[in-house]
Structure formats: C-alpha cells, structure tokens
C-alpha cells in the first residue's frame, strides 16, 4: 500500500469512519426497536417478571455516550432522569424492567461498534503524541473528530499542519483508519521531514 501525504485523503478516511459509526448506530437503534417490540409483544407478563436484569451492571459514562448518540430522539430531561435512575440504582426497582431491557440493548448495540471507536481513539491518541501544540479531540457522543490548537484552543484545519505533522497524520490515518490487517511499514528517508525521535 502506498501512503500519500495529502490531507484530503486523511479527511476522507476520518469522515468515512465517522459515517460508519453514525450509520451503524442508526441501523442498530432501528433494529433494536424492532427486536424489543417483537419481544414485548410475544412475551407474557410472567416471563417479563421472571427476568429482572438485576445482574446487569450499567456503566454510567458509557450510557451517557449511548444516550447522547440518540440525539434529538430523546430530550435532555429524560436523559438526565435515566442517568439518575442508574446512578442511584433505582433502575433495578420493580417497574423499570422495560427501561433496563432498552438500556441493555442500547449498550449491546454500542459495543458492536466498539471496533470503529477504537480505530478513531487509537489514531487520535497516537497522533497526539507527535503533534506540537495541537491535538485531535474525539467526541464519541457527537461522533466528531476535530483538531485544536493548544495555544488558544481554536479549531484548526488539517492543512494548517506542518509538512512533518501532515506526514505523521497521513501515516497513522492509513494504519489506524484504513488498514484491516497487520502490516510491515517501510519508510524511505524518514529524516527528511519526520523527526527521528
């Protein structure tokens, strides 16, 4: 694979991964809604009461991301209320069975996309170790990846990077965002534009 050092390729790779996460999130929510409707329509009250989901351990920070990804489909008051129910452990009280089922399905749907989130996180963390006074910030709730100046916290375009930074970003974009398998990386005369350290 040949690595080109154009920022348009990097932008395309980043947008592609973010679109996959967004599209698969929406598909997962739609599929989950159908599954839950079928499940509730076919189960009897006794079956629902037997399964109380008290063994489910809900990660609050993960649940916040999942709820934020729902966007305008749920208002902020309801999000806050759900997070409070989980934080106070009231979610395990009788009467919240359907909500626990829904939360469980939402988190399962999110976990199926974890590989894509890990690609973006790996790319972000690795690039940030090499960038000077700049950093990528991935917001998993909003499914956005932005580049910021550490000096004044302003958003930057990829074209504002130095030539060496562009090469680093291109390199890690290719390795983290596009590569599906392990590979060997050969760099010809890296000292010309990339710091050897």
Q: Most confidently modeled of 18-32, 105-119, 132-146?
A: 132-146
pLDDT: which is higher, 27 or 173:
173
d(CA 44, CA 176) in angstroms, rounded, equals 47
> Which pLDDT does position 46 carry in this prediction?
46
- 65 burial class (0-12, 13-18, 19+ CB within 10 angstroms)? middle
Residue 184 has pLDDT above 50, yes or no: yes
Question: pTM surpassing 0.85?
Answer: no
Which of 34-48, 92-106, 131-145 comes out lowest in average pLDDT?
34-48
Q: Whole-number mean pLDDT of the chain?
A: 81
**Direct distance between the N- and C-terminal alpha carbons of the chain, in angstroms, rounded to an integer:** 24
> Which pLDDT does position 155 carry in this prediction?
95
Question: How many whole angstroms from its chain centre is CA 46?
Answer: 37
Q: Residue 104 is encoded by which pair of tokens?
A: 């469980």
d(CA 94, CA 106) in angstroms, rounded, equals 20
CA angle 107, 108, 112 (to 5 degrees): 115
Comparing CA positions, the residue from 45, 44, 63 lying closest to residue 105 is: 63
What is the helix (H) or strand (E) element at residue 104, kind and residue range?
helix 97-112
Question: How many whole angstroms from its chain centre is CA 107?
Answer: 12
Q: What percent of the chain has pLDDT over 70?
A: 80
- CA distances to 66, 78, 86, 99 from 81, in Å: 14, 5, 9, 12
CA angle 109, 180, 128 (to 5 degrees): 85
Residue 49 has pLDDT above 50, yes or no: no
Q: 93 phi and psi, to 5 degrees?
A: -75, 155
pLDDT: which is higher, 30 or 133:
133
> Which pLDDT does position 110 carry in this prediction?
86
On whether the CB atoms of residues 35 and 51 are closer than 8 A, the answer is no
**Which residues on neighbouring strands pair with residue 144, listed in sequence order?**
139
> Which pLDDT does position 3 carry in this prediction?
54
**Segment 27-36 mean pLDDT:** 70
pLDDT: which is higher, 195 or 22:
22
Residue 96 has pLDDT above 80, yes or no: yes
């Amino acid at each position: 694979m040949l690595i080109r050092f154009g920022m348009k390729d990097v932008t395309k790779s980043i947008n592609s991964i973010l679109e996959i996460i967004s599209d698969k999130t929406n598909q997962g929510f739609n599929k989950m809604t159908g599954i839950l409707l079928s499940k509730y329509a076919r189960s009897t009250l006794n079956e629902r009461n037997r399964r109380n989901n008290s063994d489910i351990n809900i990660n609050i920070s993960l649940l916040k991301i999942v709820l934020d990804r729902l966007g305008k489909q749920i208002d902020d008051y309801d999000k806050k209320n759900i997070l409070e129910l989980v934080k106070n452990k009231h979610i395990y009280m009788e009467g919240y069975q359907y909500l626990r089922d829904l939360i469980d399905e939402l988190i399962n749907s999110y976990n199926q996309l974890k590989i894509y989130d890990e690609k973006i996180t790996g790319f972000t963390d690795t690039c940030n170790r090499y960038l000077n006074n700049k950093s990528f910030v991935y917001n998993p709730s909003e499914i956005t990846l932005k580049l910021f100046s550490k000096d004044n916290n302003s958003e930057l375009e990829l074209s504002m990077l130095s030539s060496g930074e562009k090469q680093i970003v291109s390199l890690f974009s290719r390795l983290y965002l596009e590569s599906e398998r392990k590979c060997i990386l050969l760099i010809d005369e890296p000292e010309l534009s990339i710091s050897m350290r």
